[in-house]
């Protein structure tokens, strides 16, 4: 794809992950000319390395646990679901303190209320884009399973699930026998589970983003290789140097996920964006063993998901600098526990994948304008729900940018809540 010297789009969108591609598509649908810019192909960074969940059931954001035993286990680095690089702690201590305060019951309830309109439309908006991209048959509407090894944690999970009835979620509590009927190749290490029925899943999340990017190009959008660090503000708009020359536009959208700070910091914005790193590796399944849907082993601290490449074992959170060397200790801890619940073959790839989730301490993304710069818009910081919230974020931001009535109040996602 090439850009002619006189090509001047309405908008440049930086970032070809699920958020940026979705924003670009929704703007294109509303008659805007759009150039999408990334240093790599679509869906090859954070959007590739997730569990494939479109998490309609995640109505309560992932906050800090309040019980002392869990915090102590995390703090001692004995958990497969959370790991700390202790040398990083002084840098992130203020962020963690705010995250802790925002995880208290009242702030967490406010965050849940603010996020609910996005979560409620997550599957619906994906279905719309998937139908247009011709990949709707790849959407698996079989939910996911939250499994437990102990009766104590299983009982707590049943109580938590029951408390979510007001959100209209559909779920089934499975005892050991019901779990085996649902997933016959899980072992009897698991005593029970909660099957969340509303979420959908994707067996190739990176491939899904590529399908959305193809739809964008097929409908007249332009996708160029370039680096957002070469962004310049000029009279009347913005410009960036790409592999096909300079592109100018009156408006830009920064949807760079973990790399968004390279732009907003250079423009003088103070936003407490922090990374939670994660890992995955694929395995074969022994014999004719299979899973019908992703299964989280809550007590084990990992997730197994049937993917195009094999069984994807994913870890929880690593608090470490985005660009520091990988330390896949969580995978090494999780693998033997995963083998306890499902018959895995050897690892398929020799090197685990690692990526970073862009997270904000109040558990809401930034979606909206940069108030001190004309034509500047942001969409990043979706915590654990980038894949889930990509299309719905694209719709909301496109409605804001084109002056439409928004389907929900965007005020909770405004940048000004951090930078005043």
Q: Which residue in 396, 401, 413 sits closest to 374, CA to CA?
A: 401
Q: Which residue in 254, 233, 285, 249 sits closest to 365, CA to CA?
A: 254
Q: Are 260 and 336 in contact (CB under 8 A)?
A: no
Does the pTM exceed 0.85? Answer: yes
User: Please, what's the largest Cα pairwise distance for the chain?
Assistant: 68
Q: Please give the pLDDT value at position 166.
A: 86
CA distance 158 to 134: 38
Question: Would you state the torsion angle of the CA atoms of residues 397, 256, 354, 199, taken in this order, to the nearest 10 degrees?
Answer: 0
Q: What is the DSSP letter of 104?
A: S
pLDDT of the chain, 420 residues: tens digit per residue: 333 433 689 999 999 999 999 999 999 999 999 999 999 999 999 889 889 999 999 999 988 887 777 777 777 777 788 888 888 989 999 999 999 999 999 999 999 999 999 999 999 999 999 999 999 999 999 999 999 999 999 999 999 999 998 899 999 999 999 999 999 999 999 999 999 999 999 999 999 999 999 999 999 999 999 999 889 998 889 999 999 899 999 999 999 999 999 999 999 999 999 999 999 999 999 999 999 999 999 999 999 999 999 999 998 899 999 999 999 899 999 999 999 999 999 999 989 999 999 999 999 999 999 999 999 999 999 999 999 999 999 999 999 999 999 999 999 999 999 976
Q: Please give the pLDDT value at position 208.
A: 98
For 116, other C-beta atoms within 10 Å of its C-beta total 14
Q: Please give the pLDDT value at position 70.
A: 77
CA distance 260 to 56: 26
Backbone angles phi, psi at 346, to 5 degrees: -75, 165
Pure H helices in 250-350? 261-264, 329-341
Pull the structure tokens for residue 210.
């590529």
Pull the structure tokens for residue 411.
């005020």
Strand partners, 347: 283
Q: Please give the pLDDT value at position 76.
A: 76
Question: Would you state the torsion angle of the CA atoms of residues 257, 258, 263, 269, taken in this order, to the nearest 10 degrees?
Answer: 100
Q: Are 39 and 225 in contact (CB under 8 A)?
A: yes
CATH number of this structure's domain 1-63+103-140+204-273+360-420: 3.50.50.60
Which sign does the torsion angle of CA 380, 56, 409, 125 carry? positive
Pure H helices in 273-379? 329-341
Q: Are 358 and 280 in contact (CB under 8 A)?
A: no
Q: Please give the pLDDT value at position 5.
A: 39
């Amino acid at each position: 794809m090439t850009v002619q010297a006189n090509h001047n789009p309405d908008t440049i969108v930086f970032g070809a992950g699920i958020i940026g591609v979705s924003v670009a598509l929704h703007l294109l649908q509303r008659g805007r000319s759009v150039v999408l810019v990334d240093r790599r192909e679509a869906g090859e960074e954070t959007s590739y390395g997730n569990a494939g969940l479109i998490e309609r059931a995640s109505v309560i954001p992932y906050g800090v646990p309040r019980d002392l035993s869990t915090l102590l286990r995390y703090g001692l680095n004995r958990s497969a679901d959370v790991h700390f690089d202790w040398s990083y702690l002084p840098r992130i201590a203020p962020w963690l303190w705010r995250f802790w305060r925002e995880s208290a019951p009242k702030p967490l309830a406010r965050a849940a209320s603010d996020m609910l309109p996005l979560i409620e439309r997550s599957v619906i908006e994906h279905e719309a884009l998937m139908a247009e991209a011709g990949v709707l048959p790849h959407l698996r509407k079989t939910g996911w399973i939250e499994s437990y090894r102990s009766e104590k944690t299983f009982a707590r999970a049943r109580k938590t699930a029951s408390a979510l009835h007001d959100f209209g979620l559909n779920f089934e509590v499975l005892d050991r026998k019901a779990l085996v009927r649902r997933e016959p190749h899980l072992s009897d290490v698991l005593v029970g589970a909660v099957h969340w029925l509303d979420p959908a899943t994707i067996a190739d999340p990176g491939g899904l983003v590529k399908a959305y990017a193809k739809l964008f190009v097929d409908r007249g959008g332009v996708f160029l290789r370039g680096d957002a660090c070469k962004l310049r503000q000029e009279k009347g708009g913005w410009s960036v140097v790409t592999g096909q020359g300079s592109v100018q536009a009156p408006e830009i959208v920064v949807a760079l996920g973990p790399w968004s700070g390279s732009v907003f910091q250079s423009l003088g914005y103070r936003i407490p964006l922090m990374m939670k790193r994660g890992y995955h590796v694929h395995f074969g399944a022994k014999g004719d063993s299979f899973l019908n849907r992703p299964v989280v082993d809550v007590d084990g601290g990992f997730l197994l998901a049937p993917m195009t490449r094999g069984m994807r074992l994913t870890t929880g959170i690593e608090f470490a600098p985005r660009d520091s060397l990988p330390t896949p200790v969580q995978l090494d801890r999780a693998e033997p526990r995963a083998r306890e619940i499902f018959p895995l073959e050897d690892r398929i790839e020799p090197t685990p994948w690692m990526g970073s989730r862009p997270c904000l301490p109040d558990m809401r993304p930034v979606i909206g304008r940069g108030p001190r710069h004309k034509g500047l818009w942001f969409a990043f910081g979706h915590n654990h729900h980038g894949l889930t919230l990509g299309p719905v974020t694209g719709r909301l931001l496109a409605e804001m940018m084109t002056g439409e009535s928004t389907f929900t109040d965007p005020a909770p996602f405004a940048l000004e809540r951090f930078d005043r």
